[in-house]
Structure 1
Amino acid sequence: MTKVLILAAGQGTRLRPITNDRPKCLVPIMGESLLERQVRVLKRQGINDIHIATGYLSEKIEQMGFDTSFNSRFDSTNMVESLFSALAFIKACNEDLIIAYGDIIYQDNNLQTLLDCDDEIGLMIDRQWRALWSLRLEDPLQDAETLMMDEQGYVTELGKKPDSYDRIQGQYTGLIKIRADKIASFIEFYQSLDRSATYDGKDFDNMYMTTFLQSLIDANWKVKAALVDNGWLEVDSVDDLNTYEACAKSGELDAFIKLEE
């Protein structure tokens, strides 16, 4: 069995005015919210224990009947803090745990690729990321992050600012799987971190998720790339939404993801 924790505490400022009255995960794409689309894919794979880490306009998610944890400092902290605001849920998890960003959607086969990964940590990595980034951005390199793997497909570096495409063997997509027997150690690692240190230029409360994952890699955790070729979308801005909606109308979006109506 597998449990899921969806991180949905952020304010989605780049999606305003759409997020003036809703959290980012409830932004609609082709008529259905990101959260609803993601939950439907999870449930089709038999994953029904779904917990949401909330913050901004948390009541909108609570009204939908989900079990939730609340990051009371959502407006001054980053995603790692939202993750561990659900510490009680994580501690009680005796099964594999999927951690998912609230602003993504993905196909069933992408999720299955991650579920099939039996390493300590699996990350869904898109090998064909550049096509999607080129759809969204004039200069894909400006918004991309480094991601390097060894010959066995384990991630050795992620989340840095690249100076060339040579440092990008794929893009991390915001979907993580922690193996059941590593969850206690995962928590212990987080709790052992120095709260007074800086992490890639950020204080502890604002550490990036990629920085946290890199810290695990540097501590010799085995982080495996679950490789996919497109089949997912990130919605980060109004421009993203407009681009996806236009491509859906023209039929071009099918090259990136097959969305069920």
Structure 2
Amino acid sequence: MKVIILAAGQGTRLRPLTDHCPKCMVEVNGKSIIERQLDTMHTCGIEDKDITIIAGYRNDVLKEKFKDTEIQFVVNESYETTNMVCSLMCARKLMEKESDILISYGDIIYSKEVLEKILQSQDDMGVIVDDGWYEYWSARCENPLDDAETLMFDENDYLTEIGQKTTDLNKVQSQYIGLMRFKNAGLQAVLDLSAEAKKRSENGKALWRTERTYAKMYMTDLLQGLIDENYKLKAVHIQRGWFEIDDCDDLKVVESQLR
């Protein structure tokens, strides 16, 4: 299994902490987000030689930090004008050679138990979802539905909807965290659908359930596209054990709960 960490973003909502380093290098109680991720991966037996970081903003700082490791770097030179899917596809050549890829956002921290859940998944497409999200979102914002997005699954735990804005709490059965795994036919589907999305945008055609173009496509847009094309995405359930650091308020919440 190979690992791709998406860490190209600028982290503008974390300024001034990101004035001179990428978002993933922001420290949480003295240790950076990316170091905490890597520590967890190492604990689960993942080696540096199998890890690729998609960098962008201040990639020089990130590369310097890990210059003495076997971690690979791919740079999204268009990080200022593109989003997650474009960053992921910067590693397309790597993905085409492999049959098993774990994808992690670069701004999340998760426990060994959370990572083990996705490592144990047997499905070709597995997406970690947090069933205990509501309490966490309540600590992050006054009204959780201002920020939370839809996530629904069927009786067999296959996703039916993800990443849409809603005011209906019943449509948020769980919450996406940014940690997923694609194997074999599932990985090929990701590559094929990304290529289809790019083609549609170049031809002025709409994507699946978003007005965004390929360049600005979120990972949840890609996942929803896979769902709408009848691929089976397994919801891999957790009950907390992770944090997202999106802005300075998030950082305060994490630092109060994590040591």
TM-score past 0.5 threshold: yes
Secondary structure of the residue aligned to 2:78 is coil
Does structure 1 residue 27 correspond to structure 2 residue 26? yes
Secondary structure of the residue aligned to 2:195 is helix
Matches within 5 A, 1:111-150: 111-150=115-154
Partner of 1:221: 231
Matches within 5 A, 1:178-189: 178-189=182-193
Q: What letter is aligned with 1:198? A: A
Instruction: Please give the per-residue CA displacement for 1:183-226, whole angstroms capped at 9, x wherever unaligned.
Output: 23321221123123334121220011111100001111110011
Deviation, 1:181, is 4.3
Partner of 1:6: 5
Q: What letter is aligned with 1:36? A: E
Secondary structure of the residue aligned to 2:249 is helix
Query: How far apart in 1 are the matches of 2:11 and 2:206?
Result: 25
Partner of 1:104: 108
Query: How far apart in 2 are the matches of 1:13 and 1:212?
Result: 24
Query: How far apart in 1 are the matches of 2:179 and 2:244?
Result: 11
Q: What letter is aligned with 1:238? A: C
Query: How far apart in 2 are the matches of 1:181 and 1:44?
Result: 28
Aligned length: 247
Partner of 1:91: 96
Q: What letter is aligned with 1:10? A: G
Partner of 1:71: 76
Deviation, 1:47, is 1.1
Instruction: Please give the per-residue CA displacement for 1:222-254, whole angstroms capped at 9, x wherever unaligned.
Output: 100110000000000011112322x2xxxxx2x
Partner of 1:37: 36
Partner of 1:250: none
Q: What letter is aligned with 1:242? A: K
Unmatched runs of 5 consecutive residues or more in structure 2: none
Unmatched runs of 5 consecutive residues or more in structure 1: 248-252
Query: How far apart in 2 are the matches of 1:93 and 1:163?
Result: 40
Once the two structures are aligned, what percentage of the paired residues are identical? 40
Structure 1 ranges of 4+ moved more than 3 A: none
Secondary structure of the residue aligned to 2:176 is strand
Query: How far apart in 2 are the matches of 1:20 and 1:43?
Result: 29
Query: How far apart in 1 are the matches of 2:185 and 2:219?
Result: 21
Partner of 1:62: 63
Partner of 1:233: 243
CA contact (8 A) 2:245 2:254 kept: no
Q: What letter is aligned with 2:3? A: V
CA contact (8 A) 1:145 1:159 kept: yes
Secondary structure of the residue aligned to 1:20 is coil
Does structure 1 residue 158 correspond to structure 2 residue 162? yes
Deviation, 1:44, is 1.1
User: CA RMSD for the aligned pairs?
Assistant: 1.3
Q: What letter is aligned with 2:58? A: L
Q: What letter is aligned with 2:51? A: I
Partner residue of 2:206 out of 198, 202, 221: 198
Does structure 1 residue 52 correspond to structure 2 residue 53? yes
In the superposition, the TM-score normalised over structure 1's length comes to 0.91
Query: How far apart in 2 are the matches of 1:74 and 1:61?
Result: 15
Secondary structure of the residue aligned to 2:98 is coil
CA contact (8 A) 2:193 2:225 kept: no
Q: What letter is aligned with 1:236? A: D
